[in-house]
Chains A and B, each alone.
Chain A
Amino acid sequence: MEKSRKLTTLIMAGGRGERLFPLTRDKAKPAVTFGGIYKIIDFTLSNCINSGIRQIYVLTQYGSFSLDQHLRMAWEVVNPEMGEYIYSIPPQQVTVNRWYRGTADSIYQNISILQNERPDYVLILSGDHVYKMNYLEMLNYHIDKRADMTAACVEFPRLESTGFGVLHVDADHRIINFLEKPKDPPGIPGNPEFSLVNMGIYIFNTEVLVQEVIRDARLPDSDHDFGKNIIPSMVQRAMRVYSYSFRDENKKEVSYWRDIGRIDAFFEANMDLVAIEPIFNLYDPAWPIRTYQRQCPPAKTIFGGDPGHIRAAVVEDSLISNGCIISGATVQRSILSPNVRVAYYAEVSDAILFDDVHIGPRAKVRRAIIEEGVKVPAGYTIGYDRELDSHRFPISDGGVVIVPNNIDLQED
């Protein structure tokens, strides 16, 4: 990026996250725990820092306390004296007496930020996606194309793209049509079995962005959404709207980008971390993912007991955070957040256990997400009897049992 060119970054983190219920019943989706120690927004913020971007506004709204708290604990790492900041802004309600009506409205209501900053370009991101990306490469592309707006996209198999916004582009990558959740997604020129899925990452020339969100704010019938309203309208008016093919810093064969929309997507994306060769790599020193880390003692396993009653901790393909104690129990393909206890002869498999969860002796947990602080009693089973589970807990379409921390579990 040329030194004189100025970029301001806005991360939209205000959505209600209804499809992630009950995990989002009291917090913003970007503040949901992911991969044991992270919050979902850490991936986007790490991408910013790793791209050299240090002027960031996080637009919060629903459940903003959880997110604000995390930003203060984990992300006060930039230096305001050097003109760097990560600010969290809830709706100001200064000029209008309403919540954000949509993604575009969240920018419209914060035009004063852009007025004060006067950047040349604005990068708009979502706080609920998991991927690794260098945004400055996208900015250079945007400048080279002399675009009004550039939308990042990822290649998905054509028939799996129906649930997303799909970009129809010409040979020069100019977007000629934008389709929200199309039944028959268009293929890529030269690669007809794949489609270009909109990642919700946009770079605008600032003046174009201001004009577009003002225009949209004055339309009574608009949903005030970038994907549904702004981009299709700009494409229709033949503005210079380009697609940028996401260059994956994850450096695996297949590009990795996950929209943590539904519970099953959340579960699968977590499970992507525990494979022998995980398709999403947390261990690359060239692209660190940072977060707030609680002060906890090292994780511990226990092997012991009397002859004939040996308790052996068995841990396979799992992420075990600091402070965990696995005491003669079996843990397979699971993710344990800090300070989890798994007592003797308990069995945990394909499970996500948030902070401070205790699994009692001989309890069995399978294909479940257990919220922070839940104490699973001795001998209790979760994930083995669909009928029984459905009377006690929410279950996702894909059969993942969610154990919220607003109930006491009774001993079986």
Chain B
Amino acid sequence: MQRILVVDDDTSLRVYLQEELAEMGYEVLTASSAPEALKIIEKEPVDLVILDIRMPGMTGIEALPRILGLKENLPIILNTAYSQYKDDFMAWAANAYVVKSFDLTELKEKIQELLHETPAAVQPT
């Protein structure tokens, strides 16, 4: 079963995504902050990350290169309520940029596209 890590400081959104993605057949891990997400990615196999941008302490854009520093080919979807971060150069390192919506059609399509295209994540050593 492929594992998706949802990183968001909004508890209700984490729960919502967890239910929706579990229904699609994915195993879902969650983290409420970027540092927590980095710890999980360092220790556990993860196949895809859904990453919020505006989080206290460390933003998703700050976390992005750190995640890639741990696993350079791990697919990452930036999932944010704001579209202005699309211009941030570091955001370009994400595989996709999806503006948050309660209609998850676009997010689900991107997940399927990315998990279909990329091989399973490397097991941690």
Q: Which residue of B lies closest to A98 (CB)?
A: B69
Interface size class of B (residues with CB under 8 A): 10 to 19
Q: Evaluate contact between A97 and B69: CB separation under 8 angstroms.
A: yes
B16 within 8 A of A: no
How many A-B pairs with Cβ below 8 Å? 34
Which residues of B in the span 66-117 have a Cβ within 8 Å of any Cβ on A? 66, 68-69, 72-73, 88-90, 92-93
B66 contact set on A, CB distance < 8 A = 95-96
A354 CA to B92 CA, complexed, in Å: 48
A210 CA to B93 CA, complexed, in Å: 9
B65 contact set on A, CB distance < 8 A = 95-96, 111
Residue A214 contacts which of B62, B69, B92 (CB distance < 8 angstroms)?
Answer: B92
A124 within 8 A of B: no
A112 CA to B69 CA, complexed, in Å: 15
Specify which of A98, A112, A214, A219 lies most central, judged by the most chain B CB atoms within 10 Å of its CB. A214
Q: Evaluate contact between B69 and A220: CB separation under 8 angstroms.
A: no
Q: Which residue of B lies closest to A116 (CB)?
A: B89
B92 contact set on A, CB distance < 8 A = 210-211, 214
Which residues of A in the span 210-242 have a Cβ within 8 Å of any Cβ on B? 210-211, 214, 217-220
Nearest CB on B from A228, distance (A): 17
A220 contact set on B, CB distance < 8 A = 72-73
A214 contact set on B, CB distance < 8 A = 92-93
Q: Evaluate contact between B72 and A217: CB separation under 8 angstroms.
A: yes
Interface string of A182-215 (1 = CB under 8 A from B): 0000000000000000000000000000110010
A299 within 8 A of B: no
Q: Which residue of A lies closest to B93 (CB)?
A: A214
Q: Evaluate contact between A218 and B93: CB separation under 8 angstroms.
A: yes
A114 contact set on B, CB distance < 8 A = 89
A115 within 8 A of B: yes
B89 contact set on A, CB distance < 8 A = 111, 114-115, 210
A97 contact set on B, CB distance < 8 A = 69
B88 contact set on A, CB distance < 8 A = 115
Q: Evaluate contact between B69 and A218: CB separation under 8 angstroms.
A: no
Residue B73 contacts which of A96, A98, A211, A218 (CB distance < 8 angstroms)?
Answer: A218
Interface size class of A (residues with CB under 8 A): 10 to 19
Nearest CB on B from A286, distance (A): 38
B93 contact set on A, CB distance < 8 A = 214, 217-218
Q: Which residue of B lies closest to A114 (CB)?
A: B89
A214 CA to B88 CA, complexed, in Å: 13
A210 CA to B92 CA, complexed, in Å: 8
A211 contact set on B, CB distance < 8 A = 92
Q: Evaluate contact between B90 and A217: CB separation under 8 angstroms.
A: no
Q: Which residue of B lies closest to A95 (CB)?
A: B65
A96 CA to B92 CA, complexed, in Å: 17
Nearest CB on A from B27, distance (A): 24
Interface string of A115-135 (1 = CB under 8 A from B): 100000000000000000000
Q: Which residue of A lies closest to B88 (CB)?
A: A115
Residue B90 contacts which of A98, A115, A218 (CB distance < 8 angstroms)?
Answer: A115
Nearest CB on B from A109, distance (A): 8
Nearest CB on B from A115, distance (A): 5
Q: Evaluate contact between A95 and B69: CB separation under 8 angstroms.
A: yes
A114 CA to B88 CA, complexed, in Å: 10
A98 contact set on B, CB distance < 8 A = 69
Are A218 and B62 also in contact (CB < 8 A) when A112-B90, A115-B89 are? no
A65 CA to B62 CA, complexed, in Å: 29
Which residues of A in the span 150-164 have a Cβ within 8 Å of any Cβ on B? none
A98 CA to B92 CA, complexed, in Å: 21
Nearest CB on B from A213, distance (A): 10
Which residues of B in the span 26-70 have a Cβ within 8 Å of any Cβ on A? 62, 65-66, 68-69
Q: Which residue of B lies closest to A96 (CB)?
A: B69
Nearest CB on A from B84, distance (A): 13
Nearest CB on A from B48, distance (A): 14
Q: Which residue of B lies closest to A209 (CB)?
A: B89
Interface string of A324-364 (1 = CB under 8 A from B): 00000000000000000000000000000000000000000
Nearest CB on B from A218, distance (A): 5
Which 4 pairs from chain A and chain B are nearest by CB?
A: A96-B69, A95-B65, A115-B89, A214-B93
